[in-house]
Chain A
């Protein structure tokens, strides 16, 4: 009787595991389909609305008409850019939340974007860097420095892992200082910064294709590193001590995580400017569906982040048409309320 019950329980458990896996897989496919639909919408919607047929013709039998040129020269590049930077922001958010074990972490909140922006300002103001490709190196260095500084200020240098509150406050404070310094540099040399002004608000418009190719290898490297350490991050979620006893080299994993965060957030910020809250929102939304499994969270983030980014970009194109609102501003509208909801119900959003 008991053994029969036991067997029944066991098979039930196995069933839930397979059903969980199939639920996660089917959800992933749905997300992919939604992303494809959103890409199509992104090609259709703008100052001039175009039909699905026009989009199809432009892609596969281009007649070089005005409408086709709008799609190929303006809407396709920004859609592709969203496909490159969206996953980078989303994954860096998921990664920074897993590594710091802080549900409120985000490259923007933890000052990583501000660090990148400040370093780019130094590049423009002091070293007279003029091209977007030149921004990348500075953005990466700034992102890395800011990540480390916030970690140290937040108490990460001590034996215990830093508390989420301390870390978040440290990030906010450092972000304020760095943005102050960035403003100082901008005001000192306003001519050199007229170009950068566009950049300080995250935007997908007006970026050339060459820049995308420049950061793509960095983002791919960061993504691979993140996916490689994701099983170990599952163990770290239980706490450092338990992770060590499970045979995880916590220090090494944290180090790799830090490099991956820098690569992802730094290069995405260099090319699209600081787009806040994407890294905060996406992992939380994803966690509702997949539960606490880092590999799945990371995979989903890669798809859901560009989905949200494209949606925000489309909203920005139509909301006060014909003027375009940069996607970074739209993200502020959407993301900040989510941050408020998260701090109000902390226990529900724990990792």
Chain B
């Protein structure tokens, strides 16, 4: 029997793992990963002390001066790695949320997960007095989850329209930022200062000790998400279609939500809320791949965007290092403005 022509080129893996890989997605992923590695290398080179490519590789392989090694491995590498992994995590989380809500605006930053995480973390820091990563992460996780559920319920009325979801998200974020301000006003100045700094997502001064638990969690969940990609896409077609594909939709949905929630909460617990990567990365990736079959291009796009944004944040004004959250907010907002502008022009 001749193979079915799907109208797209694909590569078929035979053997232990049977896979049909979309050729276009593969190329996009490879190009994005290449670009990400180039800017990662760049990120290891630049800084107060400029290093050459040669020095960076020497430091990574372990035969460089102690000072260079410390700079590259202890200071710059965790930042670069965290940006890539967390970017990928946020992007995949956004993609899952967008698929489950069947709505391009249904990403965790829009549906209030991110601002809820901040409130949760603030409560953990300021009221429960927790300073450990686990405490803050738990606070962020619970806060984010509660907010996401709340917003989804508030916006749900015979299904969730994108518009209503976004407005309810904005309104809830406003309430939460009021709550946050009150929490900060109530507490002692020095504690409040640390907590407030966390409020703008930032990779400044990140260390291995801080980021390793979250990085491991994100990588593991990304691998699980890769396995779940196929049922996810089937769910996108609707409940009935998913069932027809042999998917237990309730259980799959629950597992997917859990994965997506942790994929946002873990980076948020370390960096603070970084918005718009989760919203924009899946959509931009879709523009290149023209197929939403695989999550790999989405993850690569997230890593690329986050690392790029962090480099911009570090380099755009000499002498000042901005939090990466500010850059993603500005660029992501511009992206949203652009999308809306094009929509408005085509509709009128």
Which residue on A lies nearest to B335, using beta carbons? A173
Task: Say what secondary structure dominates the interface of chain A.
Answer: helix
Report whether A170 and B340 are in contact in the complex, using a CB–CB cutoff of 8 Å: yes
Min C-beta distance of A291 to chain B, whole Å? 25
Q: Which of B172, B275, B333, B334 contacts A340 (CB 8 A)?
A: B172
Report whether A336 and B174 are in contact in the complex, using a CB–CB cutoff of 8 Å: yes
Report whether A159 and B348 are in contact in the complex, using a CB–CB cutoff of 8 Å: yes
Report whether B175 and A333 are in contact in the complex, using a CB–CB cutoff of 8 Å: yes
Q: If A180-B326, A183-B200, A330-B178 touch, does A173 touch B333 (CB 8 Å cutoff)?
A: yes
The winner among A174, A176, A330 for most chain B CB atoms within 10 A is A176
Min C-beta distance of A185 to chain B, whole Å? 10
Report whether B154 and A339 are in contact in the complex, using a CB–CB cutoff of 8 Å: no
Mark out the residues of chain A between 186 and 231 whose CB falls within 8 Å of any chain B CB in the assembled complex: 187-188, 201
Q: Is A109 an interface residue (CB 8 A)?
A: yes
Interface size class of B (residues with CB under 8 A): 35 or more
A329 to B334, CA, bound (A): 27
Report whether A173 and B322 are in contact in the complex, using a CB–CB cutoff of 8 Å: no
Query: What are the residues of chain A within 8 A of B329 when measuring CB–CB?
Result: 176-177, 179-180, 183
A169 to B110, CA, bound (A): 12
Report whether A180 and B333 are in contact in the complex, using a CB–CB cutoff of 8 Å: yes
Which residue on B lies nearest to A323, using beta carbons? B185
Q: Contact mask A327-351 → B, CB, 8 Å, 1/0? A: 0011011011101100110000000
A323 to B188, CA, bound (A): 12
Min C-beta distance of B342 to chain A, whole Å? 10
Report whether A170 and B322 are in contact in the complex, using a CB–CB cutoff of 8 Å: no
Report whether A176 and B171 are in contact in the complex, using a CB–CB cutoff of 8 Å: no
Report whether A153 and B337 are in contact in the complex, using a CB–CB cutoff of 8 Å: yes
Query: What are the residues of chain B within 8 A of A243 when measuring CB–CB?
Result: none
Report whether B168 and A329 are in contact in the complex, using a CB–CB cutoff of 8 Å: no
- Which segment of B45-53, B63-71, B139-147, B159-167 sits at the interface? B159-167
Q: Is B177 an interface residue (CB 8 A)?
A: yes
Min C-beta distance of B127 to chain A, whole Å? 13
Query: What are the residues of chain B within 8 A of A326 when measuring CB–CB?
Result: 181
Q: Which of A168, A174, A335 contacts B333 (CB 8 A)?
A: A174
Q: Which of A173, A323, A335, A343 contacts B174 (CB 8 A)?
A: A335
Which residue on B lies nearest to A345, using beta carbons? B157
Report whether B347 and A155 are in contact in the complex, using a CB–CB cutoff of 8 Å: yes
Mark out the residues of chain A between 292 and 351 whose CB falls within 8 Å of any chain B CB in the assembled complex: 320, 323, 325-326, 329-330, 332-333, 335-337, 339-340, 343-344
Q: Is B341 an interface residue (CB 8 A)?
A: yes
A168 to B168, CA, bound (A): 12
Query: What are the residues of chain A within 8 A of B154 when measuring CB–CB?
Result: 340, 344
Report whether B330 and A181 are in contact in the complex, using a CB–CB cutoff of 8 Å: yes
Q: Is B149 an interface residue (CB 8 A)?
A: no
* B contacts, CB < 8 Å to A: 154-155, 157, 163-164, 166-168, 170-172, 174-175, 177-179, 181-182, 185-186, 200, 275-276, 317, 320, 322-323, 326-327, 329-330, 332-334, 336-337, 340-341, 343-345, 347-348
Q: List 8 A-B contacts (CB under 8 A).
A: A158-B347, A166-B340, A170-B340, A176-B276, A177-B337, A325-B182, A325-B185, A329-B182
